[in-house]
């Protein structure tokens, strides 16, 4: 990680000019080494004419330093066309991210992990491991393979690739007159890497392993060093033996058939010059996002009701698997907003910007990843019941900024003949920023399993209160902003 900027170096190229045809072919190769350990190779083709500019980009990125993942690959191809005379630009992009295998080489056994597949109730092993009687310690399978509901990955991977990441884009600008411009655009965008770092850690050390191989806080600075650099993990000892089956562990799993999320985004706007130094802009901005991550506990009971733990288990889709955290790409969201802005530039030294956004963001329990940002669902089998405003929804946002020079010093209204005085009091300016927003959504919940389905995590807040009274008060104040009386008392 770190703050080092990406380093780039040009490795070669070829340029060809054909007179008369006005054709320009540019074929440079560029290798980019970024701080995350990703190596990127670019290939670009360009064709320029008086009426059209066309570009084809091909990019190959290989990632080698993301936790315990082995070599992963991201292919991208982008085609853009610009028509300057028509003020139109269009493009098409395709991305392919190939999920790598988890762990290192077969010798260090970090690749002996697995993942639950709730599409068919199986536990998928990434690689074959020996039985515990032979190995003597993890990673191993008690009793050896085969095991009921335990299968071996066909390709040595735990997650499937997504092959439909096609992303068209188009943008248009039209001048109504010399002071008014209308703009519109549409585009589709895929997200290939959201949550990948955490997803990597979630399956580390899972069955048939027993733990991740790590030992934090070695040789603290206030103590004499005792750990040998030649074998810093020697104190961990034997890994022990795994449980008889993988179905009793509670981990963070991911649907092996999950797909990359994507967003359809569009906007329409008008920009008007009010004066030589002032511009006003009004935009409508919208988006629809699909295949978002929805997490939380899964394989809980299908229906609520009374019963013993054994009776609750019997109501689960797969009674032999304990409820566990499971991410699926089934979420969706929408955003619609109106954006207004006035920008005034340097008239008598004064510059200001005033912007206001009125918007609404809605999703179905997919505001964030891994149980944060109010991202939880009450019923994992009916996520439509959790459709509501996003955890980060801000209905109103007003921001303003201004810069004004003080009228003191050389060349200002109040100048002074003394060079020292001008140096001290001159060339100062006032800057100000103001931001006002409406509040974030507020949830009232308890950490409990009232429905008796097994869907309980202390931090998730998936059991929410029902509204039974009127929360409004006639005259809100700092003493009472909402009706705090119990509903039964308010009805007396």
3-state secondary structure 235-281: HHCCCCCCCCCCCCCCCEEECCCCCCCEEEEEEEEEEEEEECCEEEE
For residue 491, give the 3-state DSSP assignment: coil
Asked if pLDDT for residue 296 goes beyond 60, the answer is: yes
Check residue 114 and give its pLDDT: 93
Distance (Å) of CA 276 to CA 270, 347, 405: 17, 9, 20
Contact 95, 193 (CB under 8 A): no
Ordered by start, the domain boundaries in the chain are 105-209+240-490
What are the tokens at 119?
Answer: 């599409």
Check residue 31 and give its pLDDT: 33
Question: What CA–CA distance (Å, rounded) separates 413 from 428?
Answer: 13
Asked if pLDDT for residue 36 goes beyond 50, the answer is: no
Check residue 2 and give its pLDDT: 36
Asked if pLDDT for residue 150 goes beyond 90, the answer is: yes
* Residue 375 vs residue 22, higher pLDDT: 375
Lowest mean pLDDT among 18-27, 80-89, 203-212, 236-245: 18-27
Q: Name the pTM for this structure.
A: 0.77
Instruction: Give per-residue pLDDT as tens, 358-397.
Output: 999 999 877 776 656 556 788 999 988 888 898 889 999 9
DSSP structural state of residue 137? S
Place of tokens 């360009």: 46
Instruction: Name the phi and psi angles at 311, rounded to 5.
Output: -70, -35
Percent of all residues in the chain with a pLDDT value above 70, rounded to a whole number: 69
Asked if pLDDT for residue 115 goes beyond 80, the answer is: yes
DSSP structural state of residue 171? E
Check residue 61 and give its pLDDT: 57
The stretch 245-257 carries a mean pLDDT of 91
The stretch 337-356 carries a mean pLDDT of 90
Question: What CA–CA distance (Å, rounded) separates 439 from 393?
Answer: 8
Query: Measured in whole angstroms, how far is the alpha carbon of residue 382 from the centre of its chain?
Result: 23
Check residue 17 and give its pLDDT: 29
* Residue 202 vs residue 48, higher pLDDT: 202
Contact 303, 379 (CB under 8 A): no
Q: Is 299 exposed, middle or buried (0-12, 13-18, 19+ CB in 10 A)?
A: buried
Instruction: Give per-residue pLDDT as tens, 412-452.
Output: 766 666 677 677 777 788 899 999 999 988 877 777 888 99
Question: What CA–CA distance (Å, rounded) separates 462 from 383?
Answer: 12
What are the tokens at 481?
Answer: 């902003």
Check residue 95 and give its pLDDT: 84
pLDDT band at 313 (very low <50, low <70, confident <90, very high): very high
* Residue 201 vs residue 406, higher pLDDT: 406
Instruction: Give per-residue pLDDT as tens, 262-288.
Output: 999 999 999 999 998 999 999 999 999
Check residue 215 and give its pLDDT: 61
Instruction: Give per-residue pLDDT as tens, 174-195.
Output: 999 999 999 999 999 998 877 7
Please count the other Cβ atoms lying within 10 Å of the Cβ belonging to residue 247: 21
Please count the other Cβ atoms lying within 10 Å of the Cβ belonging to residue 464: 13
């Amino acid at each position: 990680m770190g703050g080092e900027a990406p380093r780039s170096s040009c490795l070669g190229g070829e340029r060809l000019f054909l007179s008369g045809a006005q054709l320009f072919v540019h074929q440079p190769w560029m290798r980019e080494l970024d701080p995350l350990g990703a190596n990127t190779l670019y290939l670009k083709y360009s064709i320029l004419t008086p009426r059209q500019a066309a570009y084809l980009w091909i990019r190959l990125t290989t990632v080698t330093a993301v936790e315990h993942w082995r070599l992963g690959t991201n292919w991208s191809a982008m085609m853009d066309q610009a028509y300057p005379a028509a003020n139109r630009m269009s493009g098409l992009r395709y991305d392919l991210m190939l999920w790598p295998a988890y762990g290192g080489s077969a010798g260090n056994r970090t690749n002996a992990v697995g993942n639950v597949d709730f599409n068919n109730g199986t536990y998928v092993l990434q690689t074959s491991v020996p039985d515990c009687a032979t190995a003597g310690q993890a990673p191993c399978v008690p009793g050896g393979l085969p095991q009921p509901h335990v299968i071996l990955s066909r390709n040595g991977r735990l997650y499937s690739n997504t092959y439909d990441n096609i992303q068209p884009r188009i943008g248009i600008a039209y001048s109504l007159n010399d002071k008014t411009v209308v703009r519109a655009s549409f585009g589709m965008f895929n997200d290939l890497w959201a949550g990948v770092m955490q997803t990597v850690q979630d399956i580390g050390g899972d069955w048939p392993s027993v733990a991740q191989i790590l030992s934090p806080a070695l040789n603290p600075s206030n103590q004499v060093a005792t750990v040998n650099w030649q074998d810093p993990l020697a104190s961990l000892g034997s890994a022990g033996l795994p449980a008889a089956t993988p179905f009793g562990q509670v981990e963070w799993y991911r649907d092996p058939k999950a797909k990359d999320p994507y967003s359809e985004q569009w906007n329409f706007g008008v920009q008007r010059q009010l004066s030589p130094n002032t511009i006003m802009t009004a935009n409508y901005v919208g988006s629809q996002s699909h295949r978002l991550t929805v997490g939380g506990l899964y394989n809980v009971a299908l229906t609520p009701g009374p019963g013993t733990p054994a009776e609750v288990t019997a109501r689960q889709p797969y009674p032999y698997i304990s409820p566990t955290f499971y991410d699926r790409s089934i979420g969706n969201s929408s955003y619609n907003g109106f954006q207004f802005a006035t920008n005034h530039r340097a008239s008598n030294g004064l510059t200001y910007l005033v912007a206001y956004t009125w918007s609404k963001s809605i999703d179905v329990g997919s505001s964030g990843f891994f149980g944060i940002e109010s991202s939880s669902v009450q019923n994992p089998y009916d996520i439509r019941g959790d459709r509501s405003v996003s955890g980060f929804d801000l209905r109103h946002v007003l921001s303003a900024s201004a810069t004004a020079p003080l009228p003191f010093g050389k060349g200002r209204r109040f100048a002074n003949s003394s060079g020292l005085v001008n140096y001290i009091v001159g060339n100062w300016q006032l800057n100000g920023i103001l931001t006002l927003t409406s509040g974030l959504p507020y949830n009232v919940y308890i950490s409990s399993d009232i429905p008796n389905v097994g869907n309980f995590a202390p931090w998730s807040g998936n059991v929410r209160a029902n509204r039974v009274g009127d929360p409004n008060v006639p005259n809100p104040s700092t003493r009472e902003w909402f009706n705090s009386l119990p509903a039964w008392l308010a009805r007396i």
